[in-house]
Amino acid sequence: MSTDTTGVQISNHAAESRYVATLDGHPVGTAAYERSDGSITFTHTVVDPGVEGHGVGSTLIRYALDDAREQHLAVVPQCEFVAALIEDHPEYKALTA
């Protein structure tokens, strides 16, 4: 689990194939994924409307991408939000399959 400066906590719920962002103990965003040999495909990202525009989605996806890097997984960004973040942050481009 990780906590950023805004108080958002991120954790991987591997049994449910999703990363979850919580704020004050309440879930406020998820990033769904599918794992296969050596890769992780991000399929969908959702952030609660009440916290949109406050960096929750970016924090969530950055954590997930950093976690994929630590696990030496190739990233397949099917989700438009994940693809856009990777496009805007070249440090993550090398992760893509």
Tell me the two tokens of residue 19: 């990363």
Q: Token pair 């194939």 is at which residue?
A: 17
Q: What is the distance of C-alpha 46 from the center of its chain?
A: 10
Give the mean pLDDT of 69-91: 97
Structural domains of the chain, with CATH: 2-95 (3.40.630.30)
Regarding pTM above 0.85, the answer is yes
Confidence at 94, pLDDT banded by 50, 70, 90: very high
Q: Could you tell me if 53 and 30 are in contact, meaning their C-beta atoms sit under 8 angstroms apart?
A: no
pLDDT of residue 6: 65
Q: How far apart are CA 84 and CA 77, in angstroms?
A: 9
> For the segment 18-66, what is each residue's pLDDT rounded down to a tens digit?
999 999 999 999 999 999 999 999 999 999 999 988 899 999 999 999 9
Q: Does residue 51 contact residue 71 with C-beta atoms inside 8 Å?
A: no
Residue 88 token pair: 């805007």
